[in-house]
């Protein structure tokens, strides 16, 4: 199984209404290659079953989506998160520690 496939497999455990971080996914996979996790998510062929929109930065900020860090892609990520009950204000997750899934 490729590294990317391992990322997608672990990501499928993140439930609706929760978020995880690039770092938490990397740690779950036994690596500190957090940017490699982001690269795998950028090319996620299994979305939305592997919900890459639920991955944010360790400080609770939105991070990237579909290879972008601003613009309509980020607006879409925020809209998807909000449709799942996650509140985003000023590009950050509200109550981040309460909805953080580190599984």
Biggest CA–CA distance in the chain, Å, is: 38
Tokens (6 digits) for 84? 């799942």
Query: How confident is the model over 17-70, as pLDDT tens digits?
Result: 999 999 999 999 999 999 999 999 999 999 999 999 999 999 999 999 998 999
pTM to 2 decimal places = 0.93
CATH class of the domain defined by 3-99: mainly alpha
Tokens (6 digits) for 79? 């809209």
Q: Where are the domains of the chain?
A: 3-99
Task: Please tell me the distance from the alpha carbon of residue 49 to that of residue 59, in angstroms, as a whole number.
Answer: 25
The pairing of strands 55-56 and 88-89 is: unpaired
| The pLDDT of residue 102 is above 90 | no
- In the set 52, 62, 78, 93, the catalytic residue is 52
Task: Please tell me the distance from the alpha carbon of residue 17 to that of residue 40, in angstroms, as a whole number.
Answer: 22
Catalytic-residue membership of 78: no
Contacts of 4 (CB under 8 A, 6+ apart): 40, 43
């Amino acid at each position: 199984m490729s590294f990317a496939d391992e990322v997608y497999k672990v990501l499928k455990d993140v439930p609706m209404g929760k978020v995880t971080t690039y770092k938490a996914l990397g740690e779950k996979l036994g690596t500190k290659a957090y940017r490699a996790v982001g690269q795998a998510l950028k090319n996620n062929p299994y979305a939305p079953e592997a919900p890459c929109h639920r991955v944010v930065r360790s400080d609770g900020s939105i991070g990237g989506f579909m290879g972008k860090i601003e613009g309509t892609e980020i607006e879409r990520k925020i809209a998807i998160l909000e449709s799942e009950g996650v509140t985003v204000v000023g590009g950050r997750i509200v109550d981040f520690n309460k909805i953080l899934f580190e599984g």
